[in-house]
């Protein structure tokens, strides 16, 4: 829900800016957008860092990308993004090996079944296939960076009415399979990527609800 508010506020500000440009000669909102659009990424990154239920790794990645492009647009730095791309990837790999929380998040291996109520996983240049059969699924977060993830929830059950799942795909893809009796509500932000909800419409007011927040940057997310 917080993501919807942030996106809504950004869209309102953009609409106001373009209207002012239309009726106020000399005000060039297009130039402002061209220079300061990375602030949107910075805001999203800060929101994710402040949200205890969001992936901190995702927040840091978005914040750093936004900070780079904003600095570049303001001529504070003069090197190409691709000049620092691979060093950043190496840093992420290094932190992934050193930080226990990240290392433990790889406990869901290919083909493994589990009954835990939450899923927490970070995939870097790797793949994830997990079959969750929890009787009280609550959600979690999955982030893939140059990797892929298949999350099978068809054997799981939501016992408390709603569950919340955060999915982040950077240069990768995520597929989620859900039971037919669930109602899936998806919100998201595509950045040169996309997400799609292919689950059938469920009008049952008592159906378990899976709330999914998606961020697809140069990647794709599908819920089936």
Residue-wise pLDDT tens digits, 102-150: 444 443 344 445 668 888 888 877 788 888 888 889 988 888 888 889 9
**Mean pLDDT over the full length of the chain:** 80
Question: Are 168 and 194 in contact, with CB atoms under 8 Å apart?
Answer: no
Concatenating the DSSP letter of every residue in 42-84 gives HHHHHHHHH-TTS-HHHHHHHHHHHHHHHHHHTTS--S-HHHH
pLDDT > 90: percent of the chain: 15
Spacing of C-alpha 77 from chain mean position: 27
Q: CA–CA separation, 189 vs 7, rounded Å?
A: 8
Question: Are 220 and 195 in contact, with CB atoms under 8 Å apart?
Answer: yes
Q: pLDDT value at position 175? A: 93
Which residues, 6 or more positions from 136, have their beta carbon under 8 angstroms from its beta carbon? 117, 157, 158, 159, 160
Instruction: Please say which residue of 50, 83, 100 terminates a domain.
Output: 100
Angle among Cα 82, 189, 154 to the nearest 5 degrees reads 110
Question: Are 76 and 96 in contact, with CB atoms under 8 Å apart?
Answer: no
Greater confidence, 163 or 53? 163
Greater confidence, 83 or 32? 32
Instruction: Please say which residue of 63, 81, 100 terminates a domain.
Output: 100
Instruction: Please say which residue of 100, 118, 137 terminates a domain.
Output: 100
Shared domain for 90 and 146, answered yes or no, is: no
Shared domain for 191 and 207, answered yes or no, is: yes
Shared domain for 47 and 133, answered yes or no, is: no
Shared domain for 13 and 62, answered yes or no, is: yes
Greater confidence, 1 or 189? 189
Tell whether the model's pLDDT for residue 87 goes beyond 70.
yes
Q: pLDDT value at position 101? A: 46
- Total count of domains within the chain: 2
Domain assignment of residue 150, given as a range: 107-223
Q: pLDDT value at position 147? A: 83
Q: pLDDT value at position 108? A: 38
Shared domain for 172 and 116, answered yes or no, is: yes
Greater confidence, 86 or 176? 176
Per-residue confidence band for 55, with pLDDT thresholds at 50, 70 and 90: low
pLDDT, mean of residues 74-78: 87
Spacing of C-alpha 177 from chain mean position: 17
Q: pLDDT value at position 65? A: 84
Greater confidence, 59 or 97? 59
pLDDT, mean of residues 48-53: 73
Q: CA–CA separation, 63 vs 44, rounded Å?
A: 7
Q: Which residue has the tokens 């003069």?
A: 78
| Among 222, 221, 218, 212, CA closest to 65 | 218
| Among 79, 164, 83, CA closest to 118 | 164
C-alpha atoms less than 13 angstroms from C-alpha of 99 in its C-beta half-sphere = 13
């Amino acid at each position: 829900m917080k993501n919807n508010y942030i996106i809504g506020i950004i869209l309102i500000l953009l609409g106001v800016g373009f209207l002012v440009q239309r009726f106020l000669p000399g005000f060039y909102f297009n130039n402002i957008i061209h220079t300061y659009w990375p602030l949107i990424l910075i805001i999203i990154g800060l929101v994710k860092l402040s949200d205890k239920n969001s992936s901190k790794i995702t927040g840091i990645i978005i914040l750093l990308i936004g900070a780079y492009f904003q600095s570049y647009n303001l001529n504070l730095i003069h090197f190409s993004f691709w000049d620092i791309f691979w060093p950043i990837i190496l840093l992420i790999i290094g932190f992934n090996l050193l930080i226990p929380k990240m290392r433990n998040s790889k406990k869901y291996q290919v083909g493994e079944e589990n009954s835990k109520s939450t899923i927490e996983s970070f995939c870097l240049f790797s793949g994830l296939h997990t079959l969750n059969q929890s009787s009280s699924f609550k959600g979690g977060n999955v982030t893939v960076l140059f990797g892929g993830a298949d999350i099978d929830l068809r054997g799981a059950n939501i016992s408390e009415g709603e569950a919340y799942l955060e999915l982040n795909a950077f240069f990768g893809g995520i597929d989620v399979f859900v039971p037919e009796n669930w109602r899936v509500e998806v919100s998201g932000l595509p950045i040169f990527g996309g997400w799609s909800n292919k689950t059938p419409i469920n009008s049952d007011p008592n159906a378990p609800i899976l709330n999914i927040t998606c961020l697809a940057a140069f990647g794709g997310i599908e819920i089936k």
